[in-house]
């Protein structure tokens, strides 16, 4: 099984490294060759372009930035579907649009190419430690074939059904987070203004019905005014907008998601896109005066 890997960003690099270690051979491509150097030193084979990589691999994994990048990489003239061999399996691990995942699946099918959508959660920490949660949509038999790959990258690997359902599940994850963020941040805004000791507040609330990963991990960062990104605001806005688009397609009204997206979008407009999602507190602080 010759594996290819496209997209060597914060997530992709450590994932590619795990695959190289496990499968010994790995074909890689990145628009910025500099990002590939570490992997090349370890024995990965750099391909000059996507078409070249496409021809040399049986399974190709992509994890790029935006749905428009996914569109280019898969559906562009020099993209995967035009250039890979019949029978190739293409796995997109970007968080992207469920509708686009279905479109890619259908266009690939015509050329007898298989696709899976398999976005992840767990962030760069999960990518490095190979403890991602991987949410997979596509054909069940293709999922089974790719399980050894997924199990190299993550600890929670779940098959969700038809093409796009991996993406749908990731968006479900992001909708939960949107609510958890607004609850946690408004609670801290209230606590601060009520002159409470925030450390003690966390002691009181972090084990019961208010418990969440966000309270455990991001509330302490807010207290320390540490806005370094575990997860970028700009990426979270992208994900929430994907969820909003799909909700619109499904004729759903999700006022909580809409509210949280609007607050983060205003932070993005104000130049906070490269901060972590915990910087939502700045929305309240900047409007406080």
Q: Do the Cβ atoms of 31 and 53 come closer than 8 Å?
A: no
- Cα-flanking dihedrals φ and ψ of residue 60, to 5°? -125, 125
In the region spanning residues 129 to 148, those forming contacts with its own copies, defined by CB under 8 A, are: 133, 135
Which of helix, strand or coil describes residue 229? Answer: coil
Residue 87 · residue 145 · CB < 8 Å: no
Give the one residue of 84, 153, 222, 257 binding its own copies; rule: CB under 8 A: 257
10 Å CB burial of residue 63 (0-12, 13-18, 19+) is buried
200 binds its own copies (CB under 8 A): yes
d(CA 113, CA 101): 14
Q: Is 287 in the site for its own copies (CB under 8 A)?
A: yes
Binding mask 17-56 for its own copies (x = CB under 8 A): ----------------------------------------
Query: Which phi and psi angles does 89 have, rounded to 5°?
Result: -110, 125
Number of residues this chain uses to bind its own copies (CB under 8 A):
72
Q: Which stretch binds its own copies (CB under 8 A): 6-14, 28-36, 47-55, 183-191?
A: 183-191
Q: Give yes or no for a contact between 215 and 206, defined as CB atoms under 8 angstroms apart.
A: yes
Stretch that binds its own copies, among 57-65, 76-84, 86-94, 196-204 (CB under 8 A): 196-204
122 binds its own copies (CB under 8 A): yes
Distance CA 207, CA 158 (A): 28
Site for its own copies in 76-105 (CB under 8 A): 98
Does residue 160 touch its own copies according to CB under 8 A?
yes
With CB under 8 A as the contact rule, the residue among 165, 240, 278, 281 that binds its own copies is 165
Under the criterion CB under 8 A, does residue 247 sit at the interface with its own copies?
Answer: yes
Helix or strand holding residue 246 (H, E): helix 233-249
What spatial distance separates the first Cα and last Cα of the chain, rounded to whole Å?
60
Q: Does 215 bind its own copies (CB under 8 A)?
A: yes
Interaction of residue 233 with its own copies, rule CB under 8 A: no
**Is residue 170 annotated as part of the catalytic site, yes or no?**
yes
Which residues are annotated as catalytic? 170
């Amino acid at each position: 099984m010759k594996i290819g890997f496209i997209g060597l960003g914060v997530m992709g690099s450590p994932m590619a490294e795990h695959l190289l270690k496990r499968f010994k051979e790995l074909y890689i491509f990145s628009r910025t060759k500099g990002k590939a150097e570490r992997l090349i030193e370890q024995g990965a084979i750099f391909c000059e372009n996507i078409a070249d990589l496409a021809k040399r691999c049986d399974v190709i994994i992509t994890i790029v930035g935006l749905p428009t990048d996914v569109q280019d990489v898969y559906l562009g003239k020099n993209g995967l579907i035009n250039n890979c061999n019949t029978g190739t399996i293409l796995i997109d691990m970007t968080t992207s649009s469920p509708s686009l995942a279905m479109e890619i699946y259908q266009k690939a099918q015509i050329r007898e190419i298989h696709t899976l959508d398999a976005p992840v959660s767990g962030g760069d920490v999960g990518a490095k430690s190979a403890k991602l949660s991987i949410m997979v949509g596509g054909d069940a038999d293709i999922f089974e074939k790719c399980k050894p790959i997924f199990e190299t990258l993550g600890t929670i690997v779940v098959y969700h059904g038809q093409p796009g359902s991996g993406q749908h599940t990731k968006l479900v994850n992001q909708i939960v987070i949107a609510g958890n963020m607004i609850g946690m941040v408004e609670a801290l805004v209230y606590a601060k203004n009520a002159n409470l000791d925030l450390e003690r507040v966390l002691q009181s609330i972090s084990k019961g019905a208010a418990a969440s990963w966000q309270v455990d991990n991001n509330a302490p960062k807010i207290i320390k005014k540490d806005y370094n990104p575990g997860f970028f605001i700009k990426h979270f806005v992208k994900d929430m907008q994907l969820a909003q688009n799909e909700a619109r397609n499904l004729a759903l009204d999700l006022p909580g998601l809409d509210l949280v997206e609007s607050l983060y979008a205003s932070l993005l407009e104000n130049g906070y896109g490269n901060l972590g999602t915990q910087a939502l507190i700045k929305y309240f602080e900047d409007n406080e005066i």
